[in-house]
Amino acid sequence: MNLAIDIGNTLVKLAVFEKGQMTALQTFEEISTGKLERFISSHQGITSSIIATVKDFPDEIKEYLQENTHFILFDIKAKLPITSTYNTPETLGVDRLAAAVAAHSIMPSETLLIISAGTAITYDVVSAGGIHYGGAISPGLLMRFKALHTFTGRLPLMDQITDTALIGQSTADSILSGVLNGALAEVDGMIEKYSLQYPGLKTILSGGDNKYFDKRLKNKTFAIPNLALTGLNIILEYNIEKSL
Taking Cα atoms as reference points, which of 126, 54, 114, 136 lies closest to residue 84?
126
Higher pLDDT, 9 or 131: 131
Taking Cα atoms as reference points, which of 191, 186, 96, 178 lies closest to residue 144?
178
Bridge partner residues of 223 (DSSP): 205
Q: Which fold has domain 83-230?
A: Nucleotidyltransferase; domain 5 (3.30.420)
Structure confidence at residue 244 as a pLDDT band (50, 70, 90): low
Is residue 243 pLDDT above 80, yes or no? no
- Chain center to CA of 243: 27
Could you give the 3-state DSSP secondary structure of residue 60?
helix
Domain ranges of the chain: 2-73, 83-230
User: Residues, the chain, total?
Assistant: 244
pTM surpassing 0.85? yes
Q: Please report, for residues 67, 172, 228, the alpha-carbon distance to residue 114 in angstroms, rounded to integers and kept in the order given.
A: 35, 31, 11
| % of the chain at pLDDT higher than 70 | 100
Q: Is 56 a catalytic residue?
A: no
Count Cβ atoms below 10 Å from residue 124 Cβ, excluding itself.
Answer: 25
Of the listed 6, 95, 124, 209, which one is catalytic?
95
Structure confidence at residue 163 as a pLDDT band (50, 70, 90): confident
The tens digit of pLDDT for each residue in 64-103 reads 999 999 999 998 888 999 999 999 998 998 999 999 999 9
Q: Please report, for residues 98, 99, 137, the alpha-carbon distance to residue 233 in angstroms, rounded to integers and kept in the order given.
A: 9, 11, 24
The tens digit of pLDDT for each residue in 3-29 reads 999 998 888 999 999 999 999 999 999
Pairing status of strand 120-126 against strand 222-223: unpaired
Can you give the pLDDT at residue 87?
95
Q: Which CATH superfamily is domain 2-73 in?
A: ATPase, nucleotide binding domain (3.30.420.40)
Rounded mean pLDDT of 128-148? 96
